[in-house]
Structure 1
Amino acid sequence: MHETDLHLDPNEASDLSRVLSEATLEANGWDRAMLTVLDEACAEDALALLVHQAGCPLEDGWEALRVHAEPTTGKGKTEDAEACAVRDGYAYILGSQFGKKAGPLSARRSWIARIKEDDLVTKDAPLEIARLRFGLHRAVNDALAAVDLLPLGPLARERYIDATIATGEKEGKRWAGAILPTDQPINLEAAEFRADGALVLGLRYPVTADGHPLLVEITNPNGLFADEAPVAGRVWWLENIGSAAAPAGFRALDTRGADRFDAIIGDLDAANKSATVLEDHPQGGTAASEHVRFALTDAGGAVTAEPVHHFGEIRRVEGVAIDREGHSHYVIDEEGHVALRTLVIE
């Protein structure tokens, strides 16, 4: 497996998506390009391109380029980009919908944005941002109401749910009422599009009561930019991934078309960082990172995943993208830097 230090700052990269048309790649002398997002920046400063110089061996010729977009409204009012996906010439970016490790939930993390794919190579390209005011939180919680979930611990209830409800009521927030006492906080770290254009969200948290990672479908992703409320559809979980003793959540998604997906799964939060989720559920920090493949069913429910690669002691695998030749590319947060690794399966 080849590794390249991407020299990205801040050193918190998430997710990967193949981007740019053949014409744009050729015009810039590249044969591959992927988008990643940096979760310690606002949406317009959270984008980076990972590009490969045409004609170079796969292990050489990589470069990371920061993208600065221009938000059409509300500069600097978003944070914690965690997922990206591409559809019909647009790159979509989503916030985590979560909060800091000690809570509460943050409306600045409740957003979705989109930018024209080929505009990623231009300066100050317009970035359209829809501020969801916990709309995805509401839709996902409603969709999960029929699923047996890992119970919300007392600390997470106090710090994420109760504290957020109290803030909304005390400060008269526009989103007050979007969060209910029976809700789970959601931590969204992966997203991809189905063949029919629905958006599939991969959750790092919550997971099923048996520790399996969850996917929730949003049927009207483009409507979110016209101020529609998110509409949730089907729910799936990977029945052979994770367990009650070592629950696992989604870290990244990539699609190969026809409702076939690659995913990175791993722990529910990083250990040794005072994460509330792990204070309630210490077992949530034990699952290893793994690359798996699966296909969605039309009915929703349980699906079976095929293992592709186990990362051993490497835990912070944050993104996966499969190029047209079938090589698997991973973005990995390591101590002091962000790395791109490429797995070539002969």
Structure 2
Amino acid sequence: MAKNEIPIPQKQKAVIYDHPGRISTKVVEIDVPEPGPGEILINLTHTGVCHSDLAIMMKTWKNLPYPTQPGQVGGHEGVGRIVRLGPSTESSGLKIGDRVGIKWVWSVCSNCPACFAGLDGICFNHKVSGYYTPGTFQQYALSPANYATPIPDGLSSADAAPMLCAGVTVFAALNRSKALPGQWVVISGVGGLGHIACQLASRGMGLRVIAIDHGSKEVLALESGAEHFVDFAKLDEDSITGHVKALTGGMGAHAAVVCTAANAAYAQALQLLRFNGTLVCVGIPEGDRVAIGGAAPGAMISKHLTITGSAVGNRFEAIRALEFAERGIIKAHYEVEKMEQLTDIFERMKQGTLRGRVVLDLS
């Protein structure tokens, strides 16, 4: 064994999607991969579970280029330590024992127009962890050395895992909202992304937050920094609009960030904005195409409204999100489970009974 090399088994435990198209996972034993040129091997200790993993397993996103195959290892929020460096990784500055993370975007080409603009999430040649590549629902995973995210020393691996998707996603989305300190932002959907968005907006960016979700999420929203909470189950669309306008001095919010995939959230979002407001689309609706209510040219022109999308974030935004987490400004509300519980976790996610996130202990 070479100096500083860590013993690595030949086999590992992983969770696969054994029947894509329905909620079903299976713990199996697979080979530990060998890193190729430019790659590192990470011994993962924790990984987050995201609604995107559910969509990939269920094959409900119509924009994916091919069906999810049986045997796919999902997951894209993995944290662990480097145990082997592949060839041609010297320039990365990484070393064995470093703690790093794997994100939704597993790799980018760094050479396309989107990459030049810092838009990693829409790189023309990007690969998605847990879909294009074996993901983080396994004990050992590969990552490009130049795209692994360093984990701050003051942040636990369990706390870091959700930040690699939910954290960076809402950080990028709030930046794209162009809302300034003291201005109003509506966070629609207080789930895995939304509760972190409430924290970051209120405590990290000085925004005034109105959260919208089912009444069961009210305590989580207010604990996460929302100034006001609107229960959509108690009000119709017009009443929600009127209530938000009343809370904001009759004007409406400066920005709205839709963190949920619910069609109803997109149907009402534009109505919540004041003049020059920005709607940021984050949650990806499943199934048929969804219309954004009120997006008629006349209304858009008369109020100078902006609709923009935000696909995760770039490498720098991921590092910034982790810095906010290390400082205690944002923290995911999560429970820790073993990988054997993944099917049950997805069932609860589908039913909408999860509060916050789930992090898998992969030991």
Q: Under TM normalisation by the shorter chain, which class is it?
A: under 0.3
- TM-score normalised by length of structure 1: 0.24
Tell which structure's C-alpha radius of gyration is larger: 2
Higher helix share: 2
**Of the two structures, which has the highest relative contact order with CA contacts closer than 8 Å and spacing of 6 or more?**
2
- TM-score normalised by length of structure 2: 0.23
Higher strand share: 1
